[in-house]
Amino acid sequence: MKENEKDRRDFMGMALGACAAVGGVGALYAAKRTWDPLPSVKAAGFTTIDLSGAQENVLNIEKWRGKPIFVLKKSADMKADERDIVIGSDRFHVSIGLCTHLGCIPAYEKDQHKFKCACHGGEFDASGHQIFGPPPSPLVIPPFKIDGTKLVLGESGPEYQKMLDAGITA
Amino acid sequence: MAHFEKAKNLNEWLDQRLAINTLKRVLNTEYWIPKDINFLWAMGMVLAATFGMLVLSGIFLLMYYKPDTNLAFDSVNYTIMSEVGYGWFWRHIHGVGASIVFLIIYIHMFTGIYYGSYKKGRELIWLSGMGLFVAFSAEAFSGYMLPWGQMSYWAGMVITNLFSGGSLELNGLVEWIRGDYVPGDAFLTRFFMLHVLLLPLVIIGLIVLHFGTLRIPHVNNQEGAEIDFKEAADLWKAGKKKESKVIPFSPVFLSKDIFVMGVYFILFFYLVFYNFNFAMDPVNFDPADGLKTPAHIYPEWYFLWSYEILRPFGKDAGLIAFAIAQLALFFLPFIDRSPNVAPAHKRGLFQVWFWVLIIDMIALTAMGKLPPTDPTFAFIGLVSAWTFLALGPILFIITMFEKKIEKGA
């Protein structure tokens, strides 16, 4: 009788444990999903930028997914780079304007043709390569599609795909 | 059911049902405190009182604050500061309290280190206290987000980016923490929840645990003397108060606590009424702007030392150094190999170590505030960061060879 009772209590304990485990995993999954970005946040992820009015060596800052986007039309004396976006005879540097170290916005130094981050002293050249300080990688190029003289951010065109495949941007 | 008699008064009625007389005895009148302790031992109650001020002022701020990225800035800087009667009063108590509480925490921590109060038998006091330090840090950071000024936004940006794991580029994790690609509405509301509900609950729980950990090993004393608390308590109860080495917490020690708190609150309210600006960063009076970084960003003074440990290294190394800096002090009871529970000035090399630690942390704090551009200061910062990292292994070695000291307790 005693033995028998122990077995039954063990069974109840195990059943409780199994139910609690299933419920716990379910609740954790629900909590994880609750903290995911909302669909409305994800859907608002496209921005179109018209590049036809850009001036040489003047940094324009646009906004995409809440992040600043650097658009810099390169002048003739600025070195060409595989990261450049070429439209007709113009070359553009386009990148997410957040330092790859911890995400501050670097300022553009017009005369020196470089970006300097005030937070931790990181520097990038006009093509977005890190040249000084703690940044571990070049400025990130956002997914883009060329549409005439316009750039659609958030959509991957063939030019972007080529950069991605070549490992030029993350 | 237990047997109940008709009670003669409210105290007796409650005692029959809640054992309040026993509680009072265990927690107050027969909770023994060594006589040989100075005002630094009152910092625990000073902290509890400051936390009380923060909760109280927070409740009043909560009634007008709006956790919405479009409304938050004005609800703090216009509604609470200009419209709500005495709204400025609660805000300044909250702002000054949030800053000063860290000063007292640091004094409390370094008192514990100086007198060896983290050692054998008291490890849990130290660990729960460090847990409180981390919880207070998270509470301070989440609160700093709420006015949604420029420093709030960019501190949120930089600190959440730490979770990208350096070169691991865990951007999905960062976006999950924020609930958006950048700090936005989802970010603000979840930090609001953390600040007003979850973290205060954690802090209150840890305070109860921290008090509980003290009950059996008892507080340390200035000489690190081992006291037979039972014997000493019996002497006190027998009326031999002069001969006894202990006093009851309440009302005898508490009267000293309250005197120290009185002095402290004079300073506290002097700051609240006449010098509240030190706790308010001017950059945070600009509304958050995701397209403009402030020229120079830095945390509040109490995080500068760990920020400076992060700063001089590359991304991955900086992250690792930062994590070590956050966690190193937790291990103090296990790094210190010496058997001596004694004040630092009786422990030879440990005293040197202690003051090097203090000076190094002051140097890190000073360098953390400066812009990263000056090479001399950046070099001092780098040396200080390495010094901090080296102090752990050094402590392990010097305390291993520390000789047992004879105590004339």
Q: What is the 3-state secondary structure (H, E, C) of chain A?
A: CHHHHHHHHHHHHHHHHHHHHHHHHHHHHHHHHHCCCCHHHHHCCCEEEECCCCCECCEEEEEECCEEEEEEECCCCCCCCCCCEEECCEEEEEEECCCCCCCCCCEEECCCCEEECCCCCCEEECCCCEEECCCCCCCCCCCEEEECCEEEECCCCHHHHHHHHCCCCC
Pairwise CB contact (< 8 Å): B290 & A66: yes
Residue B12 is predicted with a pLDDT of 94
How many angstroms separate the CA of residue B137 from the nearest CA in chain A?
A: 20
Q: What's the whole-number mean pLDDT along residues B347-373?
A: 92
- Give how far Cα B308 sits from Cα of B144, B241, B377, Å: 19, 51, 11
pLDDT of B276 above 80: yes
Extract long-range pairs of B190-196: CB within 8 Å, 24+ residues apart. B190/A35, B191/B142, B191/B145, B191/B146, B191/B156, B192/B67, B192/B142, B192/B145, B192/B146, B194/B138, B194/B139, B194/B142, B195/B139, B195/B142, B195/B143, B195/B145, B195/B146, B196/B58, B196/B62
Question: Does the beta carbon of B70 lie under 8 angstroms from any beta carbon of chain A?
Answer: no
A-chain residue closest to B313, CA distance: A134
Pairwise CB contact (< 8 Å): B293 & A61: no
Task: Assess whether the previous peptide bond of B393 is cis (omega < 30° from 0).
Answer: no
Q: Band the pLDDT of B409: cuts 50, 70, 90.
A: very low
With pLDDT > 70 as the criterion, what percentage of chain B qualifies?
Answer: 99
Chain B residues whose CB is inside 8 A of the A167 CB are none
Pairwise CB contact (< 8 Å): A35 & B179: yes
Measured between CB atoms, which of A37, A107, A121 is closest to B179?
A37
Residue A148 to residue A50: CA distance in whole angstroms = 9
**pLDDT tens sequence across B204-232:** 999 999 999 999 999 999 999 999 999 99
How many angstroms separate the CA of residue B371 from the nearest CA in chain A?
A: 8
**pLDDT tens sequence across B177-192:** 999 989 999 999 999 9
Pairwise CB contact (< 8 Å): A35 & B175: no
Pairwise CB contact (< 8 Å): B315 & A65: no
How many angstroms separate the CA of residue A41 from the nearest CA in chain B?
A: 7
Question: Does the ipTM surpass 0.85?
Answer: no
Residue A122 to residue A100: CA distance in whole angstroms = 9
Pairwise CB contact (< 8 Å): A104 & B157: yes
Pairwise CB contact (< 8 Å): A103 & B294: no
Say which residues have a Cβ less than 8 Å from residue B116's Cβ, sequence separation at least 6. Answer: B220, B224, B336, B340, B341, B342, B343, B344, B347
Phi/psi for B26 (5° steps) reads: -65, -40
Measured between CB atoms, which of A35, A67, A101 is closest to B315?
A101
How many angstroms separate the CA of residue A71 from the nearest CA in chain B?
A: 13
Measured between CB atoms, which of A63, A101, A121 is closest to B291?
A63
**pLDDT tens sequence across B31-78:** 999 999 999 999 999 999 999 999 999 999 999 999 999 999 999 999
Question: Does the beta carbon of B179 lie under 8 angstroms from any beta carbon of chain A?
Answer: yes
Pairwise CB contact (< 8 Å): A66 & B180: yes
How many angstroms separate the CA of residue B358 from the nearest CA in chain A?
A: 25
Vertex B388 angle, CA B385 and B394, to 5°: 140
Pairwise CB contact (< 8 Å): B179 & A36: yes
Residue A32 to residue A54: CA distance in whole angstroms = 43
Interface list for chain A against chain B, based on CB atoms closer than 8 Å: 32, 35-38, 41, 45, 61, 63, 65-68, 100-105, 107, 118-121, 134-137, 170
Tell me whether residue A168 is exposed, middle or buried, using C-beta atoms within 10 angstroms of its C-beta: 0 to 12, 13 to 18, 19 or more. middle
Residue A128 to residue A115: CA distance in whole angstroms = 8
Local structure of residue B149 (DSSP, 8 states): B
pLDDT of A169 above 80: no
Question: Does the beta carbon of B320 lie under 8 angstroms from any beta carbon of chain A?
Answer: no
The CB-side HSE value for B318 (13 A sphere, CA atoms) comes to 25
Residue A3 is predicted with a pLDDT of 62
**pLDDT tens sequence across A88-114:** 888 999 999 999 888 889 999 988 899
Residue B156 to residue B175: CA distance in whole angstroms = 12
Measured between CB atoms, which of A37, A67, A170 is closest to B169?
A170
> What is chain B's mean pLDDT, rounded?
93
Say which residues have a Cβ less than 8 Å from residue B194's Cβ, sequence separation at least 6. Answer: B138, B139, B142
Residue A24 is predicted with a pLDDT of 96
Tokens of residue B218, six digits: 């008892």
